[in-house]
Structure formats: structure tokens, C-alpha cells
């Protein structure tokens, strides 16, 4: 089974430039997540999609970050303009739909390899 694909794997840009990351989840996975992982810290959720709708974007810095999942499959995360503090690994993850909200169920999150962004 193919895993979560992300590209590019590495990106170096200067501050105030724009950058976009792409994620292709595991086939059939309705839920897609974007995480930011700063060196030495655990991943932090930026946004969660259920199909093509946003479930949670409370920690997404919306003045400069945007994300979309137009057809409910692939997703793109964009930063415009980038700041030095955006240097991090950006991880995409996907999982099966949980089914009925509130039902005690869990679907494992499968993570991609991440994109390492360096802002100079």
C-alpha cells in the first residue's frame, strides 16, 4: 500500500518569498492533516480537513498560511510571505473517516516524510 506522499522534500527560500507544499494522502482516506514541526519540538496541528471541508484550523496563522483540498484528495499548504520563524518540517498525515461524531473510535494517522523548509 502506498503511503502519504509529500513534495518537495526540501525547500530553501528567503524571507518574504512564497512557498507551497503538496500532499497526496493514502487512497480512500477522508481526513487530512497538516502539522508544523519546529526543531526539537513535537508536531503542531495547523489544519484538519474532512474530505474537502475544514474541521479545525484554529492554529493556522491565517494572515500568511493557507491550505486547500479542493477535490477532497490532494492538498496544498501555502505560506505567503514567509518569515524566519516558519523554518520547520511540514508534515502531512491522513486517516480514515471516524464515522459518527462522538462515537468512540480511532483511526490511525499515517504521516508522510515531511517537507523541510529553511527560510533565510
For residue 23, give the DSSP letter: E
Q: Does 109 bind another protein (CB under 8 A)?
A: yes
Q: Is the dihedral of CA 27, 72, 62, 120 positive or negative?
A: positive
- How many angstroms separate the CA atoms of 72 and 69, rounded? 5
Nearer CB in complex with another protein: 72/81 = 72
CB 112, min distance to another protein, A: 5
CB 81, min distance to another protein, A: 27
CB 57, min distance to another protein, A: 11
Q: Does 103 bind another protein (CB under 8 A)?
A: yes
Among 12, 54, 55, 120, binds another protein (CB under 8 A): 55
Nearer CB in complex with another protein: 5/81 = 5
Interface residues toward another protein, by CB under 8 A: 4, 31, 33, 40-45, 48, 55-56, 91, 93, 95, 97-98, 101-114
Amino acid at each position: 500500500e502506498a503511503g502519504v506522499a509529500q513534495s518537495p522534500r526540501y525547500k530553501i527560500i528567503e524571507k518574504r518569498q512564497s512557498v507551497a507544499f503538496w500532499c497526496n494522502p493514502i487512497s480512500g482516506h477522508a481526513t487530512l492533516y497538516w502539522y508544523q514541526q519546529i526543531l526539537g519540538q513535537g508536531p503542531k496541528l495547523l489544519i484538519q480537513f474532512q474530505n474537502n471541508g475544514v474541521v479545525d484550523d484554529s492554529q493556522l496563522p491565517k494572515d500568511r498560511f493557507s491550505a486547500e483540498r479542493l477535490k477532497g484528495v490532494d492538498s496544498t499548504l501555502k505560506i505567503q510571505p514567509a518569515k524566519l520563524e516558519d523554518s520547520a518540517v511540514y508534515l502531512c498525515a491522513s486517516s480514515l473517516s471516524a464515522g459518527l461524531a462522538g462515537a468512540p473510535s480511532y483511526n490511525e494517522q499515517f504521516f508522510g516524510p515531511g517537507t523541510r523548509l529553511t527560510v533565510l
